[in-house]
Amino acid sequence: MRRTHWAIGVAAWALVAHPAFAGEAKRSTFGAMPDGRPVAAVTLSNGKGVSATIIALGASIQALRMPDRKGTIEDVQIGYDTIDGYLAKPEFFGATVGRVANRIARGRFTLDGKRYSVPVNNGPNSLHGGTKGFDKVLWDVAEVKSGPTASVTLRYVSPDGDMGYPGTLTTYATYSLGEDNRLTIEYRATTDRPTVVNLSNHAYWNLAGVGSPRSAMGHVVTIPADRFTPTDATSIPTGGHKSVAGTAFDFRRPRAVGDRVRDASDPQIEYGGGYDHNWVIGDRVTPGEHLMARVVDPGSGRGFELWSNQPGLQFYSGNFFDGTIKAKKNAILRMGDAIVMEPQIFPDAPNQRGFPSVRLTPGQTYRNVMTYRLFVER
């Protein structure tokens, strides 16, 4: 079925190809930091009407534009129109999150017998690297390429002790867009001391388009996982796996996000105010990519398949948007207006012996690759 949908999507876009130069990477500036440093931006585009704007603050996806079944191009990434929003009210919009994505219980972990503490910024826990994670720093633009596949590579060197983490970590984030309508993000990192690393991207999707009256709750999602990792009331995994069968977490067959996202009879849904959990796709990082999820907006036909080499998928249903954030097009964000899907190693992995390891040592290279295979259904 997925192959059929993908074939239809490619055919549909072939009919609405736009005159943009194929494989173009265009530099610009997206405002400045409070200290005056310019925030670089690079827009990648192909000949099918798809473009992605990447900004150096947080190595973030600031915009992703794609056609619908009628050929109408809309931005499908929730975020801000200017740098001011990202500085004033950061919400991980499209950002690279780390050093350790997701949560670390009580902001503490032990590595090689030594206890480390990292900032607590999510209830009693540390989230996405702490109070100044990778989403809040200015990355350097290391390389920009036009051609059959347009790309930009950004670089950030996190010093030893940054946010409490050991080791100097050198990280590269490469975004690439091809004529096959695949947007790929590849993270690579090396260290000079043993440390822990778990990077991901926190793109907020509404495939109906920014400012649409339709929320993401109508998006139809498929996740090829028969287990997830249940959590306690603070969203820290309890350490085990639970079958999705007979629960609100069963997306093995296509289902709209909103069908069961408010099912308060399930304490797991109550804990997170919706979905904010890790689905178990595998038990280790793999050399190649595998299917993590499929998402489609029936109204527009826009969709994507998400592929990655990671074992876990954190699916978040925008539970904490409460009308206090004004995003692009002056849209007021409310609960469920966007969803997030983050390929990664499981939450709280530094403290969970049964989970895949996030340990990185000198001589090793951390790698997380994720590909959004964009399509349009008729």
Cite the active site residues.
202, 342
Q: Which residue has the tokens 């050198």?
A: 170
Beta-carbon contacts of 258 under 8 Å, excluding residues fewer than 6 positions away, are: 215, 217, 218, 336
**Rounded distance, CA 276 to CA 41, Å?**
30
Q: Do residues 134 and 199 lie in contact, with contact meaning Cβ atoms separated by under 8 Å?
A: yes
Q: Which 3 state secondary structure label does DSSP give 329?
A: helix
User: Which residues partner with 39 through β-bridges?
Assistant: none
CA dist 341 → 306, 314, 359 (Å): 9, 6, 23
- Residue 99 phi/psi, 5-degree rounding, is -60, -35
| Beta carbons of 230 and 239 less than 8 angstroms apart | no
- Phi-psi bin for 363: left (phi > 0), alpha (psi -120 to 50), beta? left
Determine the distance from the C-alpha atom of residue 54 to the mean position of all C-alpha atoms in its chain, rounded to a whole number: 13
Cβ atoms of 333 and 325 within 8 Å: the answer is yes
The one-letter amino acid at 306 = L
User: Which residues are CB-contacts of 340 (< 8 A; sequence separation ≥ 6)?
Assistant: 202, 203, 204, 205, 314, 315, 316, 318
Backbone angles phi, psi at 314, to 5 degrees: -85, 120
Number of other CB atoms surrounding residue 35 within 10 Å: 6
